[in-house]
Amino acid sequence: MSAAEACAALGISTATLYAYVSRGLLKSRPGADHRSRVYLRQDVERLTQRKRAGRGAARGAAQSLDRGLPVMETRISLIRPDSPYYRGRSAVAMVRSGATLEDTARLLWDCGDADPFDAATGDWPARVAAIAGDATLPPIERAMAAIPLLAPDLRHSLSAAPAAKRGVAATLLRQNAALLVAGTPDARPVHVLLADAWRPGDAAFADLVRAALVLCADHELNVSAFAARVVASTGAHLHATVCAGLAALSGPRHGGATARAHALIREACDAPSPAAFVAERWQRGDDLPGFHHVLYPDGDPRAAEVLAMLRARHAGDARMQQVEAVLTSAAETSGRHPNIDGMLAAICFVHGLPATPALCMFAAGRLAGWLAHALEQQELGMLIRPRAHYTGVAPAD
């Protein structure tokens, strides 16, 4: 739709239209003459429906389901333009100080002076060993298949004692990481376990993985965290909540975005001109996966931190120069900056890895946040059970 058509449909001025775009409520593309802009009809229609819904509780509830109004309180994380904050501490600052995923988990789980990672992690039970070591299975599916089978052997899996639950969470964090790479859990930091599976002995790469895990650890009430909280609210054990998070993460609009971002980088770099490839894609209305985040209209600070680390370590590398060409083209064509999905994909591309490790880093890190939300929800003791507004066929009298 043209700007005039969008304004007429919404009953707003051009200035308000531009404000909607800057807030991420509308997407725009270059027009046919390259000077005008056109707007996605589905975005305009969605906003029109919101306006028709009127004001009040019902409208607020409906809008809250798509990054709208807050629906619950949490002490776990806060999203600000410069960084996500974990219980008041900047995730970006934690990366710069050398924090590991384990350090981040202790903070997110509010462990105080206790260390739930003190306990040793044993071998896989017999019923799990075959699944856990099957490298032919996709990582997320392998973890979702094995994790439920670990719960029956855990005596404290349904314990209400906070220390016991945090011990279970620590074991799960290590087990999940091992499952994602078809390995065996051990006492090594998670970033070392993952990095050694993909690039053994590469300390610089391992440090990038460490940073990625910390930055991915939590992001407020995202789709997978909400799924985990809903399951946790029923009193289910932590293994079930983790599986709910993994299931949500597997979708192409959540964790699966890393694979699409990797494909974009690879295809752009294989093209004769990355700039022309990106410009043509944007002009025909295709998305640029791995770029832009509605909650960070001025750029994703998590991605900026990873990009700075990549530049510091690989400035002269041919693959890094290719990534820089894609980033420049995307910025010049669309004005969009990379998000964390795009930078996880860039880590893999620069190091000659396929897309799979990007999703594994996301899943290994975000599990710490799912467990934090599960622990918080169960301490509240409230069941999450929203109501639906029925819009179907009315019952016959």
335 burial type by CB count under 10 A (0-12 exposed, 13-18 middle, 19+ buried): exposed
Active site residue 341: yes
Which residue is catalytic, options 237, 341, 351, 373? Answer: 341
Query: How is residue 266 written in tokens?
Result: 């690879």
6 burial type by CB count under 10 A (0-12 exposed, 13-18 middle, 19+ buried): buried
Which residue is catalytic, options 219, 239, 254, 293? Answer: 293
Active site residue 293: yes
Rounded to the nearest 5 degrees, what angle is found at the Cα of 370, between the Cα atoms of 364 and 376?
Answer: 145
The CA distance from 349 to 265, in Å, is 8
Hey, which residues are catalytic here? 293, 341
